[in-house]
Amino acid sequence: MKRIISILLENESGALSRVVGLFSQRGYNIDTLTVAPTDDDTLSRLTLTTQGDDHMAEQIVKQLHKLIDTIKVVDLTVGSHIERELMLVKIKAVDHDIRIELKSCVEIFRGHIIDVTPSTYTVQLAGDSDKLDAFIEAVREMGIMEVVRSGISGISRGEKFLRV
Amino acid sequence: MELLSGGEILIRALKDAGVKNVWGYPGGAALHIYDALYRQDDVYHLLVRHEQAAVHAADGFSRATGEVGTALVTSGPGATNAITGIATAYMDSIPMVVISGQVPLTKIGQDAFQETDMVGVSRPIVKHSFLVTRTEDIAGTIAKAYFIAASGRPGPVVVDIPKDVTDPSHKVPYSYPADVKMRSYQPTDKGHRGQIKRAVKTLIGAKRPVIYAGGGVVIDNASDQLTELAQALNFPVTNTLMGLGCYPGTDRQYLGMLGMHGTFEANTAMHHADVIFAIGARFDDRVTNDLEKFCPHATIIHVDVDPTSVSKNIEAHIPIVGTCTSVLTEMLAINKELKSKPDVDAIAQWWAQLDQWRLDKGIYTASRYEESSGNCIKPQDVIKMLYKVTGGEAIVTSDVGQHQMFAAQYYLFDKPRTWINSGGLGTMGFGLPAAMGCQLAFPDKDVACVTGEGSIQMNIQELSTCSQHNLPVKIINLNNAALGMVRQWQDMNYSSRYSESVYEDSLPDFVKLTESYGHVGMKITHIDELEEKMRECFAMKDRVVFMDIDVDRSEHVYPMQMPGGSMRDLWLNKTERT
Ligand SMILES: Cc1ncc(C[n+]2csc(CCOP(=O)(O)OP(=O)(O)O)c2C)c(N)n1
Ligand SMILES: [Mg+2]
C-alpha cells in the first residue's frame, strides 16, 4: 500500500542525507520525495511516499523519528488527508488539430498552458497522482517530449496540523 | 571572557564534558588540536598504534565504566581507520565521541590531501554526527555530542572539525553550555504506566516464565533491579551474549546464555515458555533462530529504550518503551503493591522441569566434552582455569571466534561490565585494545583478553601501546592454529574443506614477539602446566603477559542451534542432537 510520510526536520546540513540514507540502509524504497524550508526557515518539511504494509510503515516512522534532526513524523495515509502533486509536461504541438485537442484536454483536467512555441505546448497540472497519471495517458499519443513531476506533498484534513 | 583558539576550546570543552582520557593518533588536520593538548594537563592522551585500536580502547573504557569514551583521529586515513571501531560501538550501543580532524573548510570538496567525507562515510554507523564550521560552535557541539552519545539508546557520535576552525591565530570567547536542550531530540525515559502494570500482572500469571535480559540492562545499570525482580518472583533468567553479568552467572536461577551457542536449558526453556519477559534485548537473529518457529507458546513482554527495537523482529504483546532502570523500578513497586502472587505450584513444577533439563544436557551439571589430557588441552578447560585463577573477579575482554563463545559459556560473570565483547558486529581485533581501555579504567583489576591466534594478529601492534602507557593486560591466546570458528562451519557445512582457514606454517612465535615488545611471553602445551603458569601470569601485576596456549584443534563450540530450526533445535556435540 502507498504511504505518504511527512517529516518536520531541523534545516541543518546533512539532515536530508540522513533521511535518504536511512531508506537505502533499511531496504525501503522512496517513490517520491519533496523537501523545502517552511515558513520558519530553521525547519524543513519533507514529504515522501513509499510502499509498505502496516508493520513496515510503523518501522519507517519509528526509524525516522529516531534520527536526531527529526522533530515530528506522521504517516498521513492513516488519517484523512489531501495530497497534491505538480506536473509540467512539454508536448509536441505542431499540427493544428493536435493543438486544439490538447487545449481541450488541458481544460478538462483543469491545467494551464504556461508556455507556447510554434511547435510545443508546456502544460502545468496539479492534483493527486492518479489525475496526473490520467492526463499523461490522455496526451501520450500526441507526443510527450518531457515530463517533470514534483513528487507528492500532503497535508492532513481538518484540525490536525504538523508544527513545532 | 577568556579568548581561546579552536584547539584550546576543544580540549577545554572535553574537560568540561568530564573527559579525562582520550585515545588517539595525530596527523596533519589534527595538529592544531594536538598542540593544544600538549599545553595542558587536564585531559590525558594515550597514543595508540592504529586508529581502530583507539576507538576500541575508548569503547572498552566505556563498557567497563559506563562513561562516554573518547577517540581523536586525523582526517582521511585516520578517519577511515576509525570506522570499524565506530561500527562496533554502534552495533552494541556504546556511548562514545569520535573527534576527527578534517581538511580546512576552504579545501572541502576539492579532493584535498587526506580529505575524506567523514560525516558521509560514517553516516550509517553513528547515532549522530556534526561537521563544525565555526570556532564559536565547538564548545556547544561537544556538549551536544556527549549528551547525545550518553542518553536514550547510547551510541557513537562523530565530530568532524576542519583544520582552519582550530587555527591558533583565531581566538574567540569560551563558554560551555550549562545544559543541553534540543527540540528535535528528547529521549524517552519512563515507560507507559498502564503497560507496565499489565506486564507485571502477566508475569504473575505465568506458569512457565523466562526472563530474557540483554545488553540494555548492562548499559542502563539496571542489574540490581533486574536481579531483585527475578528473585522476588523466583523466575529463571537467561542472558544474551551482550547481557552476560547483568544477572549473576553463579546464581541458581540463572539458566546460562541463550541463542546460537546458548545452553540447552536456556534455549529449551525459551521454546516452552508461556511468558517471555525480554528486557534490553532485541531478538537478534543469533538468538531467535528461525523467526517462524520462535517460541510458539509465549506471550511477549518487551522493554527497550529504543522504540525501533520493539516489535521489529518479533511482535510484542506488551511493548514498553522506556529505560530498563525506570521500568524495572516501577515493576518492583507495582509487584509489591499487588495482592496476587505467582502460582507457587506452577513455578515449582517449571523449576523441576528446568532442573531436569540442566541435569540431562546442561553444560554446568556435567562436562559435555572430553577432558583435557597431556598435550591435548581443551579450550573450555582453559577458560575454567582462568575463572579459577582470577576467582571470577577479572574483567574479561574477548575477540571473535570459538574462544569468544567458550569464554562466554565457561567464565561465569556475576557482575555487569566485566564481560566485554563485540557481540553485534563481531569484530576480530577488538579484544586487546578493549582490554587496554578496561585496564586504564581499573588499574588494580585483573584484565584478561581471551583471544585466538587469528584475532590477536588484527591489532597485535597495541602491545607497544601497553608498554608506553603501562597497561599490564593479560592475553590468553587459545591457539588452535586456525580460524577456528570458520573451520567449525566448514566442518559442519562444507565437508571439512578448509578454504583459507589455516595458516600453514606462518604463525609467529608469540613468545618472542611479546618479548620484543618488552613483555612476558609463555608457551603452554601440556595441561599439567596450565594452572601453575596461569597463576604465575596473574601474579605479575605490573607486566603484560601473553599466554600462548596450544588447544585442541578439532574442538567445536556446542551447543549450536541448527539453521532454520526453532530455539531448542540444537547440536549438543558432534554426533548428538535434540
Ligand atoms: C574483522 C573480521 N574478519 C572476519 C571475521 C569472520 N570470523 C569470525 S570468527 C573467525 C575466526 C577467528 O579465528 P581466531 O581468532 O583464531 O579464533 P578461534 O575461532 O580459532 O577461536 C573469523 C575469520 C570477523 N568476525 N571479523
Ligand atoms: Mg584460532
Q: What is the ipTM of this complex?
A: 0.93
Ligand located closest to B261 CA: 1
Non-local CB neighbours of B101 within 8 Å, separated by 6+ positions: B27, B28, B29, B30, B31, B33, B73, B74, B75, B78, B79, B161, B162, B163, B166
Known catalytic membership, residue B413: no
Give, for B71, the enclosing helix (H) or strand (E).
strand B69-73
Known catalytic membership, residue B270: no
By the CB < 8 Å criterion, does B181 face chain A? no
d(CA A118, CA B14): 68
Question: If we measure between CA atoms, which residue out of B236, B235, B240 comes closest to residue B279?
Answer: B240
Residue whose entry in the numeric block shows the C-alpha cell 557482575: B415
pTM: 0.97
Cell readout for B23 is 585515545
Name the residue facing B308 among A17, A21, A59 (closest C-beta): A59
Ligand located closest to B379 CA: 1
d(CA A100, CA A116): 13
B193-361: CATH, from 3.30.460.10, 3.40.50.150, 3.30.70.100, 3.40.50.1220: 3.40.50.1220
Cα atoms in the 13 Å half-sphere on the side-chain side of A30: 20
The 3-state DSSP class for residue B154 equals: coil
Catalytic residue from among B485, B534, B547, B560: B485
Known catalytic membership, residue B114: yes
Give, for B503, the enclosing helix (H) or strand (E).
none
A150 near A31, Cβ under 8 Å?
no
Residue A77: burial class (beta carbons within 10 Å; 0-12, 13-18, 19+): middle
Cα atoms in the 13 Å half-sphere on the side-chain side of B481: 10
The verdict on the CB of residue B479 being under 6 Å from ligand 1 is: no
Residue A164: burial class (beta carbons within 10 Å; 0-12, 13-18, 19+): exposed
* Test mutation, B108, B118, B141, B184, chain A, max A CBs within 10 A: B184
List C-alpha distances in Å: B61 to A113, B66, B417, B438, B443. Answer: 67, 8, 10, 5, 12
Other beta carbons less than 10 A from residue B195's beta carbon: 18
Closest atom of ligand 1 to CA, residue B478: 21
| pLDDT at residue B498, as a whole number | 97
Other beta carbons less than 10 A from residue A85's beta carbon: 23
Cell readout for B364 is 554446568
* CB-CB neighbors (< 8 A) of B183 in chain A: 71, 164
Non-local CB neighbours of B513 within 8 Å, separated by 6+ positions: B460, B463, B521, B546
Strands A2-10 and A43-51: antiparallel
| B449-478 CB burial, b ≥16 within 10 A, e <16 | bbbbbbbbbbbbebbbbbeebebbbbbbbb
Task: Give domain B3-173's CATH architecture.
Answer: 3-Layer(aba) Sandwich (3.40)
Question: If we measure between CA atoms, which residue out of B70, B236, B248 comes closest to residue B156?
Answer: B70
By the CB < 8 Å criterion, does B68 face chain A? no
| pLDDT at residue B1, as a whole number | 77
Residue B7: burial class (beta carbons within 10 Å; 0-12, 13-18, 19+): buried
Cell readout for B369 is 566434552
Cell readout for A153 is 506533498
B401 near B489, Cβ under 8 Å?
no
The verdict on the CB of residue B399 being under 6 Å from ligand 1 is: yes
Q: For chain A, give the secondary structure using H, E and C.
A: CEEEEEEEEECCCCHHHHHHHHHHHCCCCCCEEEEEECCCCCEEEEEEEEECCHHHHHHHHHHHHHCCCEEEEEEHHHCCEEEEEEEEEEEECCCHHHHHHHHHHHHHCCCEEEEECCCEEEEEEEECHHHHHHHHHHHHHHHEEEEEECCCEEEECCCCCCCC
The verdict on the CB of residue B403 being under 6 Å from ligand 1 is: yes
Phi first, then psi, for residue B386 (nearest 5°) are -60, -40
Q: Which structural domains are found in chain A, ordered by start? A: 2-79 (3.30.70.260), 82-153 (3.30.70.1150)
Give, for B410, the enclosing helix (H) or strand (E).
helix B402-410
> Which class is domain B379-557?
alpha beta
Which DSSP symbol is given to B266? H
Please report, for chain B, the start and end positions of each structural domain, with discontinuous segments joined by +: 3-173, 193-361, 379-557
| pLDDT at residue B2, as a whole number | 87
Non-local CB neighbours of B327 within 8 Å, separated by 6+ positions: B190, B191, B196, B279, B303, B320
Q: Provide the residue-wise pLDDT of chain B in tens; the chain has 578 residues.
A: 789 999 999 999 999 999 999 999 999 999 999 999 999 999 999 999 999 999 999 999 999 999 999 999 999 999 999 999 999 999 999 999 999 999 999 999 999 999 999 999 999 999 999 999 999 999 999 999 999 999 999 999 999 999 999 999 999 999 999 999 999 999 988 999 999 999 999 999 999 999 999 999 999 999 999 999 999 999 999 999 999 999 999 999 999 999 999 999 999 999 999 999 999 999 999 999 999 999 999 999 999 999 999 999 999 999 999 999 999 999 999 999 999 999 999 999 999 999 999 999 999 999 999 999 999 999 999 999 999 999 999 999 999 999 999 999 999 999 999 999 999 999 999 999 999 999 999 999 999 999 999 999 999 999 999 999 999 999 999 999 999 999 999 999 999 999 999 999 999 999 999 999 999 999 999 999 999 999 999 999 999 999 999 999 999 999 999 999 999 999 999 999 99
DSSP code per residue over B21-53: EEEE---GGGHHHHHHHHT-SSSEEEE-SSHHH
Which DSSP symbol is given to B476? E
Residue whose entry in the numeric block shows the C-alpha cell 544477572: B247
Mind listing the pLDDT tens digit for each residue in A3-34?
A: 999 999 999 989 999 999 999 999 999 999 99
One fold for B193-361 and B379-557: yes
Strand partners of residue B523: B548
By the CB < 8 Å criterion, does B120 face chain A? yes
Mind listing the pLDDT tens digit for each residue in A126-153?
A: 999 999 999 999 999 999 999 999 999 9
The 3-state DSSP class for residue B226 equals: helix
By the CB < 8 Å criterion, does A62 face chain B? yes
Known catalytic membership, residue B163: yes
Residue A119: burial class (beta carbons within 10 Å; 0-12, 13-18, 19+): exposed
Phi first, then psi, for residue A117 (nearest 5°) are -130, 170
Question: If we measure between CA atoms, which residue out of B131, B112, B110 comes closest to residue B120?
Answer: B131
| pLDDT at residue B188, as a whole number | 84
Strands B560-561 and B570-571: antiparallel
Distance from CA of B322 to the nearest CA of A (A): 14
Interchain contact, B124 vs A21, CB within 8 Å: yes
Phi first, then psi, for residue B414 (nearest 5°) are -90, -20
Question: If we measure between CA atoms, which residue out of B116, B97, B157 comes closest to residue B27?
Answer: B116
Ligand located closest to B403 CA: 1
Continuous H helices in B66-162? 77-91, 118-122, 138-150
